[in-house]
Amino acid sequence: MRICIVGAGAMGSLFACFLSKTGEELWLLDKHRERADKISKDGLIVEGISGDHIVHVNQTTNPGDIGEADLIIICVKAYDTEKATKDVMPLMGKDTFLLTLQNGFGNVETISKIVGRDKVIGGTTSQGATVLGPGHIRHAGIGETTIGELDGKPSKRINIISDIFNSAGIETKITDDVEGLIWSKLLINVGINALTAVLRLRNGELVEHEPARGVLRASVEEAMSVVEVKGIKVAYDNPVRKVEDVCRATATNISSMLQDVLGAKKTEIGYINGAIVDEGKRLGVPVPVNTTLTSLVKTIEMSYGKRL
């Protein structure tokens, strides 16, 4: 199988490291020429809880170098989803399918509009990784990866992906409820990402300080109010406890949003807490804590270079 991972950030690099062990033909497609050249020269450098590795993979910034792919894994930021999907159209064949393992709300819909809903598989991962430099990451948290067909039906291609991922050491399960899966992951991101970015704390530190823990709880409870009105079933009975458990399980991880803030980069706030704000407005559900967190992170973004 020819697999193309789109995006050589923390998660794309981590999955490339794992999947390089499978014997499948693997490509890493990166929009950043300098990073792509460094990975081509020095390999992907991965350290952390899964050990230290230097992995050499096929690396390019030109989709035309790859040819027709069997599986395309989208690992870019949510705000880059549309462009990344259009960029991989030269890789699309009759039987090509795309898997999204991204954070945030709306990625499945964006990809489906471009390639067709039948080509798309939804997924989430609780693996944690931190970028240390171009082509250099730390594996900071081990978590489950879950994938599923959008119509909830079993399929041969879902089983193939699951088998490949599990053989690579990526613990992977299959779901028949992708919508519930994505919203379940969104609740976790809602509780962790913006708060770590504002407070500049690692995941585990959020539950060590009661004031922060209180904001975490309130943001998740608000999001659950939206989920309940939408009639979506999430994957756990107590969402607040689940988010706190994830904080502890990924205690040393620097969330993706905090990594963006520390690097003075655009964040995915509009697709995480901002998505709760948008849905809350649409449904008439008050979400003041998520509104405040969204406003704070947007202000941080707008004030890069001006902070004392």
Q: CB within 8 A of 153, min separation 6: which ones?
A: 176
Kindly report the number of other CB atoms within 10 A of residue 89's CB atom. 11
From 41, 77, 86, 185, the catalytic residue: 185
Helical spans, DSSP H, in 20-101: 33-42, 81-87
The Cα 211–Cα 50 span in angstroms is 33
Q: Is the dihedral of CA 206, 271, 95, 152 positive or negative?
A: positive
Q: CB within 8 A of 255, min separation 6: which ones?
A: 192, 193, 196, 197, 203
Task: Please tell me the number of Cα atoms within 13 Å of 197 on its side-chain side.
Answer: 31
Contact 92, 116 (CB under 8 A): no
Q: Is the dihedral of CA 107, 37, 92, 174 positive or negative?
A: negative
The Cα 122–Cα 178 span in angstroms is 6
Is 185 one of the annotated active-site residues of the chain? yes
Residues assigned a catalytic role:
185
